A and B are shown apart, each in its own frame.
Chain A
Amino acid sequence: MHKKICIALLGMFAAATASAATIEMKVHGLVCGFCAQGVEKMLRKNPATEGVLVSLEKEIVAVTTKPGTDITDAELTRAIADAGYSVKRITRTTRSLDEVRSEAQRSAKNPAKK
């Protein structure tokens, strides 16, 4: 009985951790502020979207989801394609959106360290 409860708690913890993760996408074709707006607007149509970051400098689009929700890779790829751009890679990280933003800004200031 205790074993089942532990497994259930672990499962819930894992699910919560997964939903809190940041989804980072490498996207090609992002060359202007209007591109960024289009991508953000499309991603925010998904009710699970909590935050969006678009870095033109690093060609990264990062999304955080609301607690207990997730967005599948297929949904993300379709949203980016509907905005007119191409997803090259999707990774799920434990970094916060602020951490992704900070790294992108550091990269913009020091392009040689990209």
Chain B
Amino acid sequence: MTTTRLIVGTLLCLVFALESQARPIVFADSTNVMLDYREGAMAEAQISYAPEHWMSVGLGYTDLSTDYSASHSFTYARMSVLVKRWNMEGAQANIFGWGGIGNTYIGRYVAEFTPDGDFNGHDHGGPPPDPESGVVAAINASAYNAGAQFDYETLRFYSSFKTDYVDSSLFWHRADTLQIGFAPYRHDTDSLATWFIISGRNYAGDLHESQELAFLVRLFKKRSWVEAGATTDGKIQALLMFNF
């Protein structure tokens, strides 16, 4: 790992904020497609290409509007960097950093009048609601994001911590995720890998201020990755990933 790479990765972590996926870079000369759904919190689609094992570039769309009357979303271009990898006997640990730029969007919605004549749900600094109908026009704003992830895994144990951050003049949003996983058996190259994952997540920012605990089953074989489960309050989570 060169010093330049270390500096670039560190700067990305410091200058930008965060976003997540199972692993930001899968392997060199690979294209990765990912769909991630977390009921009540977010839905995301992402495509990325890794020319080297230590970096990837990609495009993505995150819908953060699930709990809101108005559509909230973030569209982005991103670069991810493997800051440091430790290859050990039967184990691997990584530090990833990523950052990007994009656009946040809040769709048209109707703000509610309060008894004192003000409007509920209009605090993003965009155009004011129509004084009679309460309609607020859709608005866009440029945004940046950044993220980091540390993970450690063997053929039977998986752990990771990651933090994602998006910021714009419309809203900011951060998700911190801790995952611990256990595999009931050791898998090999051509066999199906099965993992049981406990995932704890903290949401912060203008859109979500909450915590969740989810239990997931993760399966992957060759180029495909499927993950599904639910939070303790019954909300569905699912992730599909394909590499080619």
A84 CB–B CB distance under 8 Å? yes
Closest to A81 in B: B53
- How does the 8 Å CB contact mask read for A51-93 relative to B, with 1 for contact and 0 for none? 0001111010000000000000000000000111110100000
Interface size on B, residues (CB 8 A): 31
Can you name 23 A-B pairs with beta carbons within 8 Å? Answer: A28-B88, A32-B220, A33-B193, A34-B23, A34-B243, A35-B27, A35-B92, A37-B30, A37-B243, A38-B30, A38-B53, A41-B29, A55-B188, A55-B189, A56-B186, A57-B155, A59-B90, A82-B28, A83-B27, A83-B53, A85-B87, A86-B87, A88-B89
On whether A29 and B85 interact (CB within 8 A), knowing A38-B30, A108-B188, the answer reads yes
Footprint of B on A, CB under 8 Å? 27-38, 41-42, 54-57, 59, 82-86, 88, 104-105, 108, 111
Determine how close the nearest CB of chain A comes to the CB of B68; give it in whole angstroms: 35
Among A37, A55, A85, the one with the most B-chain Cβ atoms within 10 Å of its Cβ is A37
A-B contact count, CB below 8 Å? 85
Q: Which of B86, B89, B188 has the most CB of A within 10 A?
A: B188
14 new A-B contacts at CB < 8 Å, known A29-B85, A56-B189, A59-B90 = A29-B86, A31-B153, A33-B220, A36-B189, A37-B27, A37-B30, A38-B26, A42-B28, A55-B189, A56-B155, A84-B85, A85-B87, A88-B89, A104-B188
By secondary structure, the B interface counts as: loop
Closest to A107 in B: B188
Whether A56 touches B243, Cβ cut-off 8 Å, given contacts A28-B88, A41-B30, A42-B28, is: no
